[in-house]
Structure 1
Amino acid sequence: MKFPFSDEPNTATIVCCHVLEKNEPILFASHDEDDGMWQFLCGHTHETDEARIISLLAAFEIDPSIGELKDMPCGYYATRESIEDHWIVNKIHSNEGDLNE
């Protein structure tokens, strides 16, 4: 599958250690409004030390279904219950969009 994002493949992206180690699927994604950074998390509560920085391409290689979010604007997040479910996209409110989702 071709890399679908308009961001460069080497764009710094946050994932949690659970996703990086492939112990948990990506069930939460955000495109932060303040810096445009992408986050792809397992959907559980996290401590800051569980965050990892990888390239957007590496995140896409872990789970190509995140490509469905390629047009999600900054300031939005998406969730799903399982990898078989469709993404549900919502606008981030001021107290959302961090590693504690």
Structure 2
Amino acid sequence: MAWVFDQAPNVACIADRSVMNGKPVLTVAHYEEDHSWAFLDGSLFDPADAFVVAMSEVIDRHADLAEVADLPPGWSATRIAKGQPWSRLKDE
């Protein structure tokens, strides 16, 4: 699969511990300030459970995230379960 994100595979992103352990990504944030990304499980975010990892580490585990690779900076996407459609929202 070709790399489709606006950041290189080795660029750092934020991911929940549970996402790195295989739980589905249900919330994605693409930050406007620095164009960085966060991949979260959709539950209440606890910074103590956050990892800074290369984007490729998350995408390798969750190839379905290619569906949100075109998410513009300053936007977030959520879904209720893996395989469900993403809802996109411009961040306030």
TM-score by length of 2: 0.93
**Structure 2 gaps, min length 5:** none
Name the structure 2 match of 1:15. 15
1:11-65 superposed Cα distances (whole Å, 9 cap, x missing partner)? 101000010111x210000101112110000000022111101111111111111
3-state SS, counterpart of residue 72 of structure 2: coil
Output the aligned Cα RMSD.
1.0
Name the structure 2 match of 1:73. 72
Structure 1 residue 67, shift from structure 2 partner = 0.9
Name the structure 1 match of 2:85. 86
Runs of 4+ in 1 over 3 A off after TM superposition: none
**Structure 1 gaps, min length 5:** 94-101
1:52-82 superposed Cα distances (whole Å, 9 cap, x missing partner)? 0111111111111111111111100000001
Identical residues among aligned pairs (%): 28
What is the alpha-carbon distance in structure 1 between the residues aligned to residue 11 and residue 52 of structure 2? Answer: 10
- Note if contact 1:3-1:60 (Cα within 8 Å) is conserved in structure 2: no
Please tell me the residue identity of whatever aligns with 1:13: C
Structure 1 residue 92, shift from structure 2 partner = 0.8
3-state SS, counterpart of residue 19 of structure 2: helix
TM-score by length of 1: 0.85
What is the alpha-carbon distance in structure 1 between the residues aligned to residue 46 and residue 17 of structure 2? Answer: 10
Name the structure 2 match of 1:34. 33
